[in-house]
Structure 1
Amino acid sequence: MNPIEVNVLGQTYKVYELAPEDGGTMEDGVLGTTDWTTHEIMLRGSIKEPTGNDSLANLDVLYRETLRHEITHAFLFESGMTGSDTFEGDFAHNELMVDWFAMQAPKMLKAFEEADAL
């Protein structure tokens, strides 16, 4: 699959879906990853494919949330949030915070639109 391109604060990130048959592998349990050094986002292509063991009825929701999660990482990387030492680790790698933004972004966008705040 050809990558899609996303503008992240002026930097183009390419988003790839990795399929095992294309040589793309990820560690077990990892759905996506962002490499700020190459400006690439890689998603497990099989996210959208039911395995029979899935408890999720709509895998497209998981795929989109994972994509938002990785794009959020990219925004934090491009904002220079990799060097923060205000807590253990840095903001760009804080999975709890990144998950929160990825889950809440659609609701925030809707609220901003309703309030004519964009």
Structure 2
Amino acid sequence: MAIDFTITPEAQAQLKKVLSKTNEPSNGGSRFRIAVAGGGCAGFQYVFKVDDSQGKEDQIFGEEQGEVIIDDISLGLLKGAALDYEEELIGAQFVIKNNPQATTSCGCKTSFSVV
């Protein structure tokens, strides 16, 4: 069952840069993990981290050397969303955009709520 999750070209390019700094042939390669956890000002929050492990419930997205892994539970809350990379005057960051599962989100772009 394929679940719709998109990685923008900007995010994919930045993922390759970030992961190239952490990937060594001896460790089999790192991936960028996206998870949804309870918390934040709206009830749920996006969690981003570089991860060397992969579980049975993880799905892989993206291109080689810039892969994203998302567990099945988090993926249910990210269906139809996109990972983007934004550069602004105050800094640059990965963000989740256009999440149809989120009914509201806060200004920090890391917290959301669902029905």
Larger Rg: 1
Higher relative CO (Cα under 8 Å, sequence separation at least 6) belongs to: 2
